Structure 1
Amino acid sequence: MKKREFTCGLDAAIAVMGGKWKGLILFALQDGPLRFGELRRQVGSITERVLIQQLREMETAGLVHREVYHQVPPKVEYSLTDFGHGLNTALAPLGEWGETHMDEIAAIPWDRMP
């Protein structure tokens, strides 16, 4: 397997994060494990298919741990790994910046972006 090369630390971090949903999933899992349905409700308008895909990618990257409980009915919980907690900690200042500038960001004419 070919090893990916990055131009800087931000490039590497964004490669792990990729896309709109992973940050929201990390945020939802910050306080502890959640079952799939609970996680979907907390993340919002994500489809089941996309959530499954994102969780698989995050599990492969080592950000999320999937715990399967062999019982009836079956139970699966998702939690952050130490690696995932570290990324969440690194993203906290970005979230604070977003909170501070939410009105300005909401006023951006997104429909006119190229």
Structure 2
Amino acid sequence: MLAEAGLLDGRAASTHWAWADEFEQRYPQVALKQNALYIDEGDILTSAGTAAAIDCCLHIVRKDYGAEIANRIARRLVVVRHRHGGQAQYIESPYRRGRTRTNSTPRSTGLSGI
């Protein structure tokens, strides 16, 4: 929405890795930083998805209220205080496919009600 409205023209921005190629094609006037979790351009902040939005929010709290408050919030959310690195942290496949374990039935049964 921000890019569509022209508010990101001439600025750096981040977006979800799955949309990066399309974003660059549609908004060539935006300096897309594909590996950034979030970008702080002062009056406009962009993030690279839901988890990155949490990182961005903690960044805002850290700037406005200090690291101690941001760290306490992160602890409450059970997230890392400050993630270093880019979007390469995503998990393509969180489990191994094609393997079955003898104890998988009780686990599957226990999770079926969730």
TM-score (norm 2): 0.26
Q: Which has the higher helix share?
A: 1
The structure with the largest alpha-carbon Rg is 2
Higher relative contact order (CA 8 A, sep 6+): 1
